[in-house]
């Protein structure tokens, strides 16, 4: 029954058949990443990938938690509630994640925990921003030679809703709060609390030790989703996950590589296009200007909606997006996703060209049956892309996108538990998050948001796929 349900779902989705984008990619001179995204809508874009998926048992628990192609294996680690190396309980709600260091075969990752509660910090006092709050990050050391977790420790605590983030060229992690509030009374997880400090910020976490838990104020106070740094300029690009309106931002640092020293926060303005949520044409190119945010710290507006920064940007002429999530700098472009953007409200991918100051719509899903709510995207060392799915579908997937624009299922969430690992329920609809590769490309790491664990996948990777 479950197999029939999955196969029926796959056939209904039809894997991206919107026509006519491949020629546009060539004509517009898109980068390799942009061509992948644009070609995803070409006729016949469905691809065999690595072949059919089947349940595969976890090397750690022995449970069939994922469906993968033949030859691929995986191990899980960092489960919610498991003791970390210091004895502290691992938080749940595993979200954004990135590789911040690799030494030989040992990879260091930093993982977000999108906890919206106030039962106390799980991190040491020196790494805690607001002792009442329970979100933050964990730092993990994984040995790729043995396929084993070596260490798991708290590295930032006392924050709220640490959703996305991004790595930096200097080997740190930027953890983003997707929650805005002034200090004082607030309701978190249906309970009343009193916050000691304002929230809605970005925090930096080093590969070694713990975070200083110091908010990077120049990046503003808003519902941050993700951030990516342009290594050529040191500029930070930030997405805002709000609906029905959101902004796309950049922060120009006073000192490159040192965001704590401050900088200038701006919102993107597409000239002649104040509203980019729908009614746009794939391949359309728009001239870009940037408008200043007068008071980046006035996010907790008087309306109580946490939209103070957004309101400032829109008042200055910034353009409206909706539900901006993933952002990645690559090939001299900045790509970002609008999860429910477009005429069908099921996803857009935008490309900003910093040198030319041009914005273009690289891809728009025409139907939720074809692609529904694309979230974070990660470039594979082999040239393809991995797309994390966060939709209303009953089974969530990791998709692969080949160099020539062929889309395929790579992995399905197959988590159903009956008390194992301390959890019970059907978690197949839990989102994928935090996908990232080891520098040598042999391991793909990702998070299953609920019940909360990290996977490390390896196998017979092939060039041209992912």
Domain locations along the chain: 2-381+402-458
248 beta partners: 239
What is the C-alpha to C-alpha distance for residues 290 and 369, in angstroms, rounded to an integer?
35
21-35 pLDDT per residue, tens = 222 333 345 566 666
Q: Where does 2-381+402-458 sit in CATH, by number?
A: 2.130.10
In which element (H, E) is residue 10 found?
Answer: helix 2-13
What sign does the dihedral 347-412-136-328 (CA atoms) show? Answer: negative
What DSSP designation does 196 have?
Answer: S
Q: How much is the pTM? A: 0.91
What is the C-alpha to C-alpha distance for residues 64 and 54, in angstroms, rounded to an integer?
9
Pairing outcome for strands 73-77 and 94-103? unpaired
Chain-centroid distance, C-alpha 298: 25
**Where does 212-317 show beta strands of DSSP type E?**
224-229, 236-240, 248-253, 263-270, 285-292
Residue 406 is predicted with a pLDDT of 77
| Res. 132: pLDDT tops 80 | yes
For 185-214, give one letter per residue: b (16+ CB within 10 A) or e: ebebeeeebebebbbbbbbbbbbeebbebe
- Residue corresponding to tokens 């030319």: 356
- Which distant-in-sequence residues (6+ apart) come within 8 Å of 391 by Cβ? 368, 372, 373
Q: Which of 152-156, 185-189, 212-216 has the lowest mean pLDDT?
A: 185-189
For 125-146, give one letter per residue: b (16+ CB within 10 A) or e: eebbbbebbbbbbbbbbbebee
The pLDDT-based confidence of 378 (bands split at 50, 70, 90) is: confident
């Amino acid at each position: 029954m479950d197999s029939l349900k999955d196969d029926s779902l796959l056939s209904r989705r039809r894997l991206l058949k919107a026509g006519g984008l491949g020629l546009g990619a060539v004509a517009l001179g898109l980068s390799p990443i942009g061509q992948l995204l644009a070609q995803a809508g070409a006729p016949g874009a469905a691809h065999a990938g690595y072949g059919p998926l089947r349940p595969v048992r976890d090397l750690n628990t022995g449970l069939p938690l994922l469906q993968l192609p033949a030859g691929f294996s995986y191990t899980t680690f960092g489960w919610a509630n498991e003791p970390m190396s210091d004895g502290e309980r691992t938080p749940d709600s595993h979200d954004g994640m990135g590789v911040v260091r690799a030494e030989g075969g040992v990879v260091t990752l930093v993982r977000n925990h999108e906890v919206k509660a106030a039962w106390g910090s799980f991190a040491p006092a020196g790494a805690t921003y607001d002792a009442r709050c329970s979100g933050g990050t964990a730092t993990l050391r994984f040995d790729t030679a043995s396929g084993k977790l070596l260490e798991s420790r708290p590295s930032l605590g006392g924050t709220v809703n640490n959703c996305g983030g991004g790595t930096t060229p200097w080997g740190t992690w930027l953890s983003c709060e997707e929650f805005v509030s002034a200090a004082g009374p607030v309701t978190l997880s249906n309970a009343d609390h009193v916050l000691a400090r304002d929230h809605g910020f970005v925090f930096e976490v080093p590969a070694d030790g713990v975070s200083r838990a110091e908010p990077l104020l120049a990046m503003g106070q808003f519902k941050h989703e993700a951030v990516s740094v342009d290594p050529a300029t040191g500029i930070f690009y930030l997405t805002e996950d709000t609906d029905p309106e959101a902004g796309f931002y950049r922060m120009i640092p006073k000192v490159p590589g040192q965001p704590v020293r401050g900088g200038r926060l701006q919102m993107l303005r597409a000239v002649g296009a104040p509203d980019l949520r729908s009614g746009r044409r794939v391949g359309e190119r728009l001239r870009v200007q940037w408008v200043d945010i007068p008071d980046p710290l006035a996010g907790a507006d008087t309306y109580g909606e946490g939209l103070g920064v957004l309101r400032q940007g829109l008042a200055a002429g910034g353009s409206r997006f909706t539900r901006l999530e993933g952002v990645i700098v690559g090939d001299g472009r900045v790509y970002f996703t609008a999860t429910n953007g477009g005429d069908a409200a099921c996803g857009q991918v935008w490309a900003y060209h910093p040198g030319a100051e041009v914005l273009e719509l690289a891809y728009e899903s025409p139907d939720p049956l074809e692609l529904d709510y694309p979230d974070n995207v990660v470039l594979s060392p082999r040239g393809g892309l991995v797309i994390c799915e966060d939709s209303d579908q009953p089974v969530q997937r990791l998709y692969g996108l080949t160099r020539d624009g062929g889309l395929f299922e790579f992995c399905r969430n197959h988590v159903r538990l009956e008390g194992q690992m301390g959890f019970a329920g059907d978690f197949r609809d839990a989102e994928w998050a935090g996908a990232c590769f080891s520098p040598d490309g042999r391991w793909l790491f990702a998070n299953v948001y609920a019940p909360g664990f990290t996977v490390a996948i390896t196998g017979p990777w092939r060039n041209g796929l992912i």
